[in-house]
Structure formats: C-alpha cells, structure tokens
Structure 1
Amino acid sequence: MTVRLRRLNGGETAVTDERLDALRAAFQGPLITPGDPGYDESRVVHNGMFDRHPGLIARCSGAADVIDAVNLARERDLLVAVRGGGHGIAGHSACDEAMMIDLSAMRGVWVNPAERLVRVQGGATWGDVDRETQVFGLAVPGGVVSTTGVAGLTLGGGLGWLHRKYGLTCDNLAAAEIVTADGALLRTSATEHEELFWALRGGGGNFGVVTAFEFHAHPVGPTVMYGLAMYAAADAEEILPAWRTWTTGLPDEVTGRAMFWSMPASPLLPPEVHNRDVFITAAVYAGPPDEATEILRPIGQFGTPLADLTGPMPFRDVQRLLDWMFPKGQLLSYWKSVGVRELGDDVLEVVLRRGLERPHPQTMVHVPQMGGAVQRPGIHDTAFGDRSAAYIVSIDGNWTDAADTEADVQWVRDAFNEVNGLPSASGTYLNFSGDPDLDSASRRAAFGENLDRLARVKRDFDPGNRFRLNNNIRPTG
C-alpha cells in the first residue's frame, strides 16, 4: 500500500510500496506502517497525554539505518520525529503522520574501565548504562528513573543523583556521533566539529540524530549511602525550612531533593505511608558509604518521619526506586520548572502552598538541589544555559483522567508563573517542560546568552529546520 506522510510545509506526500521495498532491501531494522503487527506498541511514548499515529516508524538497528531514514526524509521533505527512550514530557518523539526515526533497538553499552569511558548507543536507557558501568564500580551522571532515555536527558542537560559531584550529564560527554540533515555521519568532540559538539551539550535534539554517545565515567558504588525520609505533608511548614538550612554548605558529594507527593497503598512502601500525602527529603552521597552516615543523618531528623529508609543501597537500586511510579503510557503529564538562585522565604511560601493543594495524588512539587559541579563550567563552555540556580522548583503535573487535563495543565502553569515571577527566578530546565512549542521568552530563559550561537549552529547543520520536533531553535544568522 501507499503510505501518506506529512511534509515539512504541512502538506502530504505519498511513499509507494516500491520505494519502501527499496528501503527495506537495505534496512536492517523493520519499517512499520499503520496496520502492521506491533504498530500500536511501537508508537506508544511514556507520557499518556499523547496518543499519536506516525505514518511510518523506521526502527533503526544502527547508524546506517539512520542515514537511510534521514535520506528518505530529505528526498520527500518529510516531517521527522526522533525517538530515543520516548520519555520526553512534551511528547516530541511521536507525531501524527510524520516519520518516526526510532532508536529504541539501539541500546548497546560498552565500558572501557581503564580509561573510564563509556560508549552508548542512541536508544539506550539509563538502566542499560547503569547495568554495564556498575560491573566496574563506575557511573555516568544520569537521571533518577532508569527507563529515561540517555539521548534526551543528555542533549537537554541531565540532572540526577550525581550532578553536584560530577556535573550534568552533558558535562560528561566526551564525544558524540550524529547523522545531520544532509545524511552525513559526523563524529563530534572537543577537537572534531567543535561548534556542533558545543551545541549538543544542552542544545537539545535540534541538530540531527545522535546515534552514539561517549561519556566520562566516575567511581560510584556499587553501594552508596542513600537518604530518604517521608514526613506527613502537613508538617512541611516546619521541615522544608530545616531542609533548606541543611542543604546550605553541604559537600559536593551530596545531591539532595525534596518533594510533595502522595503514596499509594503499595507493598513496595512502608504501611505507615500508605494513602498518605507526604513530604519527602532524599539524597545520595557520591563517595564511600561509611563517610556519609553522619552527613545524611539529619534527613530523618527534620521532624518526626512517618518512615526513614536511610541506609546503604546498591546504586542500581537507587536508580530504579521511582520506576514503578511512572508506568509507561498510563500517566498524563505536564511539567514546568524554574531555577532559583536562592530558596528564599518567598519561594518557600509558594512551594508549601502549592505542595499542599496539588490537584492529583501523583502530581509533584519537586525541589532538586543544584550548585556544586553544575556551576563550575563557564556560561559559554556548553550550550546549557543559566547555571546560576541553587535549586530548581519543578511543578510536575501527573494525572490519570483525560477529563482533568485542562484544569491540571492550568494549575501547573499558574504555579510556574508564581515562582517565575519572584526576584530569584533564574531560567528554566527544558527536560522538565511539557510545552510542545517554546515561546520566545521560554527559549531565551532556557538558553540565555547561548541562544544566538545555537541558532548559527542550527543554520550550519540543519538550515531547513528538518529536526524541529523538539525544544526548537530556529536557524538564523
């Protein structure tokens, strides 16, 4: 049958059986069209808000498949969505009637322990990386959910449990291989296509399809000291200021976060927190566990916790602790975040009030701690924008009933606007953004002084803006 696909200009084009058969003859992965077995499973992304139907899914097995897919897109002027882990909150990795370049079969990870380098294919998840690196007692700074895709997290920055000690994920990128809009496969590093390498460290998926990453790894685990205490949410007025005081002056080995959430009656949780609104304080110590006992002890002493789970834990288990709370395709999500240079009383007031009035149990008001190694690179050393934030306030809207979508999205926006209007507000973190299209203010807030330079790199490598389903930077200059 003939497959109809969207073009960049919004029109349609037909790709015949003959053209698809010619592509299949060379392609190592499957080409999946509507009606094919496995199509519905293949198009699902993590955010259940998006039920989209690509016109063609090109599930690539390697860089050569990606090159062929990009060449088809250029030949027919196709709109392209690129899927790595499919975790992006804004749903960019799937689009109705577009061609999806799907990297989910490209999940290889190779570790060079002598040089502490890790090569990762573009469709891998952080669980894939942790499994291989922890064999050698190494880790690459990644996210906090193991099913998160390596590509999206890295290209957008990369916060997790190790960023205060070892920096953002993008700060640990040593090299990348990317298929650009003209179908060329380029290796980028500090000495190869340097401007493109600079742009990939925080500039998002604007510049092509990254087929492989090479990271610097660090000695972590296999056991780390993990701090986690759950308090009654109603006690947060006392606990949050105490947590703020504790986080001031912590060693860089500690990366902490606090959040309002609600716990279900799950056998994975202590009975004391079942069906409770809670305020959570948590941290990881990126060093020998025996050094951290006294440093992390206050986590369970800010008040009277409902449960204190602090103790040594395999790093891989820490990375997987939240997976079950984010089931694929079942939560509808819309998030927005604001960096703040200090956690002043005005910020605390909004965090407390919004945390106690969340519209759905699975909505979070989440405050990751920044600083440390995140702030050491210069503002122009990578494309990642404002590094001045001491904390991020992330309003993570999650719900289950589509009838609640309009109200919950508006609640997130209103909470975001409150924090963003405060004097200490400083930028936004686009990996925690649910907006499918950035307005000019959000784009500038995210990339800051680096935006104009990014637009020039975009012009050089994707002048037609083929890779636009992302936190898009338009080619200019």
Structure 2
Amino acid sequence: MEALKNTGAIVVSKADGEEAYTSALKRNSALSVLEAEYVIYPTEIRHIPAIIAYATSQSPPIEIAVKCGGAHSSTWASSNGGIVIDLARLDAVRVSEDKATVVVQGGTTWGKVYIECQKANVDVVGGPFWFVGVGGYLTGGGYSPFTPERGLAIDNILSAVVVLADGRTVRTSATEEPDLFWAIRGGGNQFGIVVEFTLKAFPPGGPFTVGIIAYPGTEIEKVLKVVQDWKATYTTREKMNITFARPAPHFKPAVTILPWVSQDASGRSAEVLAPFRALKPILDTCAPVPDMLAVSHSLDGLFAVAPPHLTIRGALISDLWTDLMLGLFYNWVAFTEENPDAKSTTVLWELSGADKIAAVGSTETAFHAREPHFWVAIQGRSSAEESVPIMRKFVAESTEYMRRENRKKTGKDAGYFINFAQGEEPIEEVFGPNLPRLRKLKAKYDPKKVWSKGCLIEPDFD
C-alpha cells in the first residue's frame, strides 16, 4: 500500500471503509463489479508509470484493469484481487483557440466533453450518452449520431498520448508512432492506456430533434414498413434507433422509434417524423433540443429506473431485413413473457448511413468493419441475480441468430463490434483481417501481456 501511495496517486482499498471501497468498485452494470485489491486514481499522467512498475514487479505480476467511464457491461474495467487504474481524475477537456480541435483526457465522459463544446459552440464526433467514458468508446471505434456525415469517432482522432506497458509515455499520430496510432483506433484496450486524445472539432450541428415515438407491438409490421421507406431516403444528417421494449406500467411489448435529426432550414425533421406520426403512436415526445449535451441526457429517465444487472452483446448486420427483425421480435416477446424478471431486456437497432464508414479502407485502422452495415445490441436486464444465467443465454443466442441469418443472406460474416463483445468471442471475428498485424504490434508494445483484460490479442514474436 505504501509503495502505491508513494506514486502520488489516490489509493482506495477495503481498509478505507466499505462506503469508499464500494463506491470505487461501482459500474454501470452490477455484473461488471469485481473486488479489486486496490483502486488507484492517478491525478497526473506521471503517476501511471509507477503504478504499472509496481504491479509488474510483483511475483506473480498483479493484474491491471483500466477504467474510464465504466459503462461497458463486461468486467474489463474491473479486477478480482488486482489493481484498477481509474482514470476519473484525468478528465480535463480543452477546446483550442481556433476551435479546430478538442483535447480530452482519457478518463473524462462525453457529458463533460459536451459541456465544454457547448461553451465553445463546437461539436465533436462523440457518444450518445453523457455517462460513457471517452477512452473505451474511442479505442473501440465509436459509432456516433454524427457518423453518417463525419465517420466513426476513430476517424476523427488527430493524435493521442499513450502510457505503454514498459512505462514510457508517447505521443502517437499519423507521423509519430504510426503503428501505435493505427492499433488504438479499433484495437481496444490492448496496447496501452490512452490518457489523452486530440479530436477534430466542427461547427455545431444543433438544434436536434430527439425523443420517443412508441407503438403497441401489434403494430410492428406497419412500423417496419415506414422504417424501410425512410431508409430509402435518409440523409447524412439523421439517424434512428428502433427498440423492442416493455415499458412500465403495463410492460406490454412495444416498438419504439428514437430519432436524431440535425436541424436545418428545410424542415427535414417534420418530414422524417410525419409518416411515423401518421401511424397514430401511443407516445410521441419528439422535440428540438439545443445541443449534444441535451441529447446525451435525453434518456436519463429510462436509465434511472433500469434494473441493475445488465449484459450487452451485439452484432453487425449487412442490411435491415424485415424478416430478420420480425424473427428477433417474436423471440424477444416469448423470452420476456416467460421470464418476467428479465422483462426489461431490450433490443436496439441502430439505423444510419454508413458511406463515411466505408470511405475508409478495412486495413487503414484496426477497426476492420468498413463495408456498409448496421448494428444491433441485445441489452439483457434483470433485477434478481437468479435471472442472470437465462438472460445471458438469451442475449448470446440472439446475437448468434443475427450473425447466422446474415451469413445465410450474404454468404459472409459481418464481424463483431468490440464494444458490444464480452471477451469470449472468436478473436479472429472481432478483428478480422487486421488480427495478424495487431498480434505483431502486441509483441512490440505489450510483449508480456500487461493489458490482458478484454478481447486478448496474443503477441506474435515471429
């Protein structure tokens, strides 16, 4: 303990009392919590190398996990008996004087980024929810409301600062440590602790129309028909989520539309919403909000009452086939009917243009899924621990169902999205054709596998 305190960081352990220790372990999902020996909060970047040196010098070495926002539903940001480096105190955000870039530290959340962007009247390609940490989001790829117009978040990173396994702190970009820059853009948490990102900034896209349009589940075929019509005409300044959910107080199956439309003088939001409103929804809360800070808080009410046990898996699919969507809908209805404690389990479909994603080659960044696609997330939720095994089973089977159907329809696999993975997925399907290069770079930057949490990349020393 004294050796760790001498690093200059804040150290929390069981000896500090149950309240402080439990708070330090808290995550977005109760299923993500493991009891670490120490939770360490560096307040300066220079504290981190000493923490790594301490952990790796022990015999055997102590496991290190790194936490940014703690929103991932896996245990990647937690450790059973090891050390968690919690970056929460490294949360500075700085907009450049010319408003061309935003520098964010790796422990901040998108809510804090959007507060500073609001002040400076700029936007960045970032996450949809305020509580998501920038570090995990960005190194995983980063789907954003702005993706149809500006690409993935990783395509808008200009440079980064990374603390490596050997304790060195390096700046990386297209011209400085370019191999590392390639790897952290989609390679996840396998190459070091990214403590700072420099992001492209651009003029604000708001106000935005957001909200919820809900229908009884019996109307799903009509809703999906309107969705397909919209899909044929959508622009780069809009996206849409479709969810299957059982909202309180009756918990009957429902299909909901969650639009995001960047405002302009053409009245596009009214045009987008008109055919959905013509179906006579039972709920329509859509309204303009001024900026991405407001967008990131738009579903706070739903998250506040969500059951604590959450597990998420997701799949990439090549197209939005109505028969696939209906098949998953009826499977979900049956599951949530038979398992009342898991009735808060939802299915989320992300619909947005992918031309900007596809404009980058599959080997230009570590993120390989560059052919046009959509993503689907199965969000298993329950109140009681007893329901967790059956919930996990449904989530895994639903993900595999979508992948299997995609292969049947296209003859190929669309791959996994690392931020919706649990670490059990075949590594070849997470990183695709980029895995051989990633293995070589793992050997270069982390030969002893200090970074072993998550989708572990085995180093290739040949």
Q: TM-score, normalised by structure 2?
A: 0.91
What secondary structure sits across from 2:401 in the alignment?
helix
State the 1:187 CA deviation. Answer: 0.5
Are positions 1:246 and 2:230 aligned together? yes
- Aligned-residue sequence identity (percent) comes to 24
Per-residue Cα deviation, 1:102-124 (whole angstroms, up to 9, x for no partner): 11111111111514211111110
State the 1:465 CA deviation. Answer: 0.8
Match of 1:232 in 2: 216
Which of 16, 20, 25 is the equivalent residue of 1:36? 16
State the 1:283 CA deviation. Answer: 2.1
State the 1:383 CA deviation. Answer: 0.8
State the 1:227 CA deviation. Answer: 5.5
For 2:393, the aligned partner's letter is: Q
Match of 1:75 in 2: 57
Is 2:346–2:379's contact at 8 Å kept on the other side of the alignment? yes
State the 1:330 CA deviation. Answer: 5.2
- Aligned partners of 2:326 and 2:303: how far apart in 1? 28
Are positions 1:339 and 2:322 aligned together? no
Match of 1:416 in 2: 399
Is 1:137–1:222's contact at 8 Å kept on the other side of the alignment? no
- Aligned partners of 2:13 and 2:217: how far apart in 1? 48
Match of 1:380 in 2: 363
Range 107-116 or range 165-174, more displaced: 107-116
Q: How does 1:184-199 map to 2 (within 5 A)?
A: 184-199=168-183
Which of 352, 364, 372 is the equivalent residue of 2:346? 364
- Aligned partners of 2:276 and 2:147: how far apart in 1? 23
Q: How does 1:75-474 map to 2 (within 5 A)?
A: 75-76=57-58, 77-112=61-96, 114-226=98-210, 228-265=212-249, 275-288=251-264, 291-298=267-274, 300-301=276-277, 303-315=279-291, 316-327=293-304, 331-359=308-336, 360-370=342-352, 371-422=354-405, 423=408, 424=410, 425-433=413-421, 435=422, 437-440=423-426, 443-474=427-458
State the 1:349 CA deviation. Answer: 2.9
Per-residue Cα deviation, 1:218-263 (whole angstroms, up to 9, x for no partner): 2224522336411112211221232123122311111222111222
- Aligned partners of 2:328 and 2:271: how far apart in 1? 25
- Aligned partners of 1:288 and 1:62: how far apart in 2? 42
State the 1:300 CA deviation. Answer: 2.8
What secondary structure sits across from 2:455 in the alignment?
coil
Is 1:331–1:399's contact at 8 Å kept on the other side of the alignment? yes
- After superposition, the CA RMSD in angstroms is 2.1
Are positions 1:57 and 2:33 aligned together? no
Distance 1:67 1:307, change over 3 A: same
Is 1:227–1:296's contact at 8 Å kept on the other side of the alignment? no
State the 1:144 CA deviation. Answer: 2.1
Are positions 1:24 and 2:5 aligned together? yes
Match of 1:9 in 2: none
- Aligned partners of 1:299 and 1:164: how far apart in 2? 22
Is 1:239–1:302's contact at 8 Å kept on the other side of the alignment? no
Distance 1:438 1:302, change over 3 A: farther
Distance 1:91 1:231, change over 3 A: same
Distance 1:376 1:80, change over 3 A: same
Is 1:60–1:101's contact at 8 Å kept on the other side of the alignment? yes
Is 2:366–2:438's contact at 8 Å kept on the other side of the alignment? yes
The unaligned stretches of length 5 or more in structure 2 are: 337-341
What secondary structure sits across from 1:215 in the alignment?
strand
State the 1:136 CA deviation. Answer: 2.3
Match of 1:271 in 2: none
- Aligned partners of 1:312 and 1:146: how far apart in 2? 18
- Aligned partners of 1:454 and 1:283: how far apart in 2? 36
State the 1:60 CA deviation. Answer: 0.8
State the 1:157 CA deviation. Answer: 0.9
- Aligned partners of 1:119 and 1:383: how far apart in 2? 22
- Aligned partners of 1:385 and 1:68: how far apart in 2? 34
State the 1:86 CA deviation. Answer: 1.0
- Aligned partners of 1:186 and 1:337: how far apart in 2? 33
- Aligned partners of 1:141 and 1:126: how far apart in 2? 10
For 1:33, the aligned partner's letter is: S
Per-residue Cα deviation, 1:149-173 (whole angstroms, up to 9, x for no partner): 1111111111232211121111111
Is 1:180–1:207's contact at 8 Å kept on the other side of the alignment? yes
- Aligned partners of 1:195 and 1:256: how far apart in 2? 35
For 1:235, the aligned partner's letter is: E
- Aligned partners of 1:228 and 1:445: how far apart in 2? 34
- Aligned partners of 1:170 and 1:238: how far apart in 2? 36
Distance 1:129 1:253, change over 3 A: same
State the 1:276 CA deviation. Answer: 4.7
For 1:44, the aligned partner's letter is: K
Is 2:34–2:75's contact at 8 Å kept on the other side of the alignment? no
Per-residue Cα deviation, 1:25-70 (whole angstroms, up to 9, x for no partner): 341x311122214111101111111331101111111211112111
